[in-house]
Amino acid sequence: MCSGSFAKCLGITLIPLSIVCVLCNILLFFPGGKPVAKEHITEQVWYFGGILGSGVLMIFPALVFLGLKNNDCCGCCGNESCGRRFAMLSSILFAAVGVVGAGYSVIVSAVAINHGPKCLVFQNNTELWTTPFSNGDYLSNHTAWSQCLEPANVVSWHLSLFSVLLVMGLIQIALCAVQVINGLLGALCGDCCGCCGGSEGSV
């Protein structure tokens, strides 16, 4: 498969992943599936890891990857091959942007999973909104989830959505890393490495 076609496949894959991440981040603003006051929303949700990191910043490299297949830039002095190689090389920069964005989302998600959700708890004969868990100690202790009185099912909601963001972010990083390699190959031997040797050898 030519490097441009392969990059297009990566771009097609990244777009639905980005949409899923944006939706997950939006759903996190409704803990337990219910609207709450903004001060009762978990802090990490406001970092917009899914919306900005794995969403907006991932759209740019995805669109660039999609356009590489049809790139008809004349490039250097009318040399189309040179233009395509430069396009593949420039795609590495956008892949790096994707890695940064997805990496940000992964870090935010990991921190959020470790800290747990903000919820209403009964502590010292008082009801207050706080983050009752620390260092991920609730992950293997499901009985501790009952500390959260409201919103209902907030722990499973929080854990499920941030886990999806974490996994999606890791997949996005992997795809962008693959494009870095693909971009290098495309820059070195042209759009189709299989055709490169033959065409250059016949000259």
Three-state secondary structure readout of the chain: CCHHHHHHHHHHHHHHHHHHHHHHHHHCCCHHHCCCCHHHCCHHHHHCHHHHHHHHHHHHHHHHHHHHCCCCCCCECCEHHHHHHHHHHHHHHHHHHHHHHHHHHHHHHHHHHHHCCCEEEEECCEEEEECCCCCCCCCCCHHHHHHCCECCCHHHHHHHHHHHHHHHHHHHHHHHHHHHHHHHHHHHHCCCHHHHHHHHHCC
Q: pLDDT value at position 52?
A: 97
Residue ranges per structural domain of the chain: 3-35+45-70+81-117+153-190
Q: pLDDT value at position 23?
A: 98
Residue 49 contacts residue 108 (beta carbons within 8 Å) = yes
What are the Cα distances from residue 6, in Å, to 61, 175, 194?
14, 11, 13
One digit per residue, pLDDT tens: the chain, 203 residues? 578 888 999 999 999 999 999 999 999 999 999 999 999 999 999 999 999 999 999 999 999 999 886 655 444 444 455 567 778 888 999 999 999 999 999 999 999 999 999 999 998 889 999 999 977 889 999 999 999 999 999 999 999 999 999 999 999 999 999 999 998 988 887 656 554 444 444 43
What are the Cα distances from residue 132, in Å, to 59, 95, 144, 152, 170?
36, 38, 9, 15, 28
Q: pLDDT value at position 191?
A: 59
How far apart, in whole angstroms, are the C-alpha atoms of residue 196 and residue 136? 52
- The tokens for 176 are 């962008």
How far apart, in whole angstroms, are the C-alpha atoms of residue 158 and residue 32? 8
What are the Cα distances from residue 34, in Å, to 7, 31, 71, 97?
40, 6, 46, 34
Q: pLDDT value at position 40?
A: 95
- pTM for the whole structure: 0.86
Residue 117 contacts residue 154 (beta carbons within 8 Å) = yes
Q: pLDDT value at position 192?
A: 62
Q: pLDDT value at position 195?
A: 45
